[in-house]
Structure 1
C-alpha cells in the first residue's frame, strides 16, 4: 500500500497545481487531482506557495480546512469508487451523487463518513470499519437533503 508522508502529499498537490497553471503534461493521477483542484479555487493560494504549504499547520481551532487533507479525501473516494472497495461503495457513491445531482456535493457528504471511520479507528486502535462506513454512506444516499 502506498503511504506518502505529509510532505510528499503537499508537494504532490502543489506541483500538480503548478503544472496545471503552466500547461505542462500531467500524469493520470495528477490529472485527477487537477480536476479537484480546479473545483476548489479557495485552495489555490495555499497550493501556489510550496514552501509555505510544507510549513503550514492546520488546526480545528483556526477554523480552516486543511486543503491537502480535503483534496486527498477526494482522491481516496475516487479510488474507492474505481475499485469498489469496500465492496458496495461504488453503488452508494453513485446513488449519493444522483440524489444530490452533484459528484462534488456527494464527495463532501461522503467525506463526513470517511472522516468518522478514520477518527473512530484511530481513537479505538482498531482497523477501519468498512461496514459502518458503508452504512453511513447509504444513510446519506437515501436521506432527502435539508
Structure 2
C-alpha cells in the first residue's frame, strides 16, 4: 500500500498546481488533483506559499488543512471509481442528486473522517461497513 510522507503529499499538490499554472503536462493523478484544487479557490494561495511544505494547520488556528482536504477528495474519488466499499457509488449518486457532486463528496468526507478517527481512537482497523452505513444514512435523510 502506498503510504506517502507529509512532505511527499504536500509536494505532490504544490507541484501539480504549479505545473497547471505553467501549462505543463500533468499525469492522470495530477490532473485529478488539479480538478479538485480548481474547485477550492480558497486553497490556491496556500498551495503557492513558499513555506507550504512546513505550514501548520491546527484546530486552534481555525485553518483547514488544504493538503488533508484535497487528499481526502482524491481518496474518495478513487473509492467511487472502483465502487469500494461496494455501494459507495450509489450512495454518492443519491447524495449528489440532492446536494450536487462536490457537496456529496464533502458529506462522504465527513463520514470518512469520523470512521478514521474512531479507528485510530480505538486502535482498530478501518470499518468499511460503518463507513458505508454513515454515507447511506446521509443519502437517505430528508
Which runs of 5 or more structure 1 residues have no equivalent in the other structure? none
After TM superposition, list the pairs within 5 Å mapping 1:56-75 onto structure 2. Answer: 56-75=55-74
- Would you say 1:84 and 2:55 are equivalent positions? no
Alignment of 1:1-146 (within 5 A): 1-49=1-49, 51-100=50-99, 102-144=100-142
Deviation for aligned residue 1:103: 0.9
**Structure with the higher helix share, 1 or 2:** 1
What is the Cα-based RMSD across aligned positions, in Å?
0.8
Runs of 4+ more than 3 Å apart: none
User: Structure 2: 5+ residue runs without aligned partners?
Assistant: none
What TM-score, normalized to structure 2?
Answer: 0.97
Paired residues in the alignment total 142
Q: Helix, strand or coil for the counterpart of 1:75? A: helix
